[in-house]
Copies of this chain bind each other. A is one copy, B any other.
């Protein structure tokens, strides 16, 4: 199996882009990544997207985007794993290059969410959960996360205000990311006063929807000139859990995140303490705590403490969401997993002042589809 390197990245601003189509946004990210990689073509295109069939009346995105960006003829397909689609598409591109089937792959995550009214988007997002046994009972995707958060607070004794540092950190970091959806500093008081969505999740616990696209360009590491710095995918691992939260013996532990992270650590020969920067999937503040715990950065029930101790900022012990995370960079769902890896590359290249993690050489990204149902973890390493 060949080792795979990232040689190009691209991303769009995340916004309500009512004047641009899905293909235009995906195209912008693809062309940026091609330009950044100094390449004009590629052997295959892998698209991460969740909801284009529902929201944009458009499937077959592989062929659509390939043609639009001047790659007519190349292999192309879409990969879907709910909000984990971006990470899953990256994994497909990685396997295509690692296997030797292709000598280069372009992975683009794209989601165009704001073209339809909010209640339709809420319904579309609920397709990440179990349609027959969760959604048909009337629970929305936020509702599921709210039940998890409430149980976590009850079980471990945390107050809602204790989750504020997660949102504050993401918003503070996004201020310095020109691609972020929200450029708005928030305080603990703002956090507690914001509008309730599904108790105990309020507006500032939740990531915003948005339109956006991000892309990475992959090649075999062996094709790069030796002696120059290389950004290698040191680990890639995916795992699943039950899609319905009520079927889990331990609903407060992200079993798939644990499996996927453990496997990634094993592949890379690393431990949690070796990770310099961790782009986690903060769709809701509760997910920050659960992800930190499942990946070995905090004991069970103690993820919140890590944030309260000030350890999650760019200069902390476990820097997370350094470009704003899902909370403030934004969460165009199928694109998010690719944004995370693009941001790791920016960190490892040292392009993130003033939220640069000093001397970062190893970054981890974890992308979650559903309420912990599909989880993909990647470790990127600068050599």
> A99 in the interface, Cβ–Cβ < 8 Å?
yes
Bitwise, A226-257 to B at CB < 8 A (1) or not (0) is: 00000000001111111100010000000110
> A346 in the interface, Cβ–Cβ < 8 Å?
no
- Chain A binding surface SS class: mixed
Binds B, one of A70-78, A154-162, A311-319: A70-78
Bitwise, A56-82 to B at CB < 8 A (1) or not (0) is: 111111111011000011111111111
A2 to B, closest residue via Cβ: B99
Known: A72-B241, A75-B238. A127 touches B59 (CB 8 A): yes
Query: In the complex, A240 Cα to B71 Cα: how many Å?
Result: 9
Interface size range of chain A in the complex: 35 or more
Across the interface, do B127 and A63 meet the contact criterion of CB distance under 8 Å?
Answer: no
Give chain B residues whose Cβ lies under 8 Å from the Cβ of A96.
95
Known: A1-B100, A67-B247, A78-B80. A127 touches B72 (CB 8 A): no
> A330 in the interface, Cβ–Cβ < 8 Å?
no
Across the interface, do B56 and A131 meet the contact criterion of CB distance under 8 Å?
Answer: yes
> A53 in the interface, Cβ–Cβ < 8 Å?
yes
Give chain B residues whose Cβ lies under 8 Å from the Cβ of A256.
73
> A130 in the interface, Cβ–Cβ < 8 Å?
yes
> A268 in the interface, Cβ–Cβ < 8 Å?
no
Known: A81-B77, A95-B95. A50 touches B59 (CB 8 A): yes
Across the interface, do A240 and B75 meet the contact criterion of CB distance under 8 Å?
Answer: yes
Across the interface, do B67 and A243 meet the contact criterion of CB distance under 8 Å?
Answer: yes
> A281 in the interface, Cβ–Cβ < 8 Å?
no
Known: A56-B131, A63-B81, A82-B60. A76 touches B238 (CB 8 A): yes
| Given A53-B127, A63-B82, 20 extra CB contacts under 8 A | A1-B100, A23-B132, A52-B127, A53-B54, A57-B123, A57-B127, A59-B82, A60-B373, A63-B240, A63-B369, A72-B241, A73-B241, A75-B237, A77-B238, A78-B81, A80-B80, A95-B99, A98-B100, A98-B101, A99-B101
| 9 pairs from A and B in contact (CB 8 Å cutoff) | A53-B53, A60-B127, A60-B370, A61-B80, A67-B241, A67-B243, A72-B242, A73-B259, A79-B80
**10 nearest CB pairs, A to B:** A99-B99, A63-B373, A60-B82, A75-B238, A59-B127, A58-B131, A1-B100, A63-B240, A77-B88, A98-B99
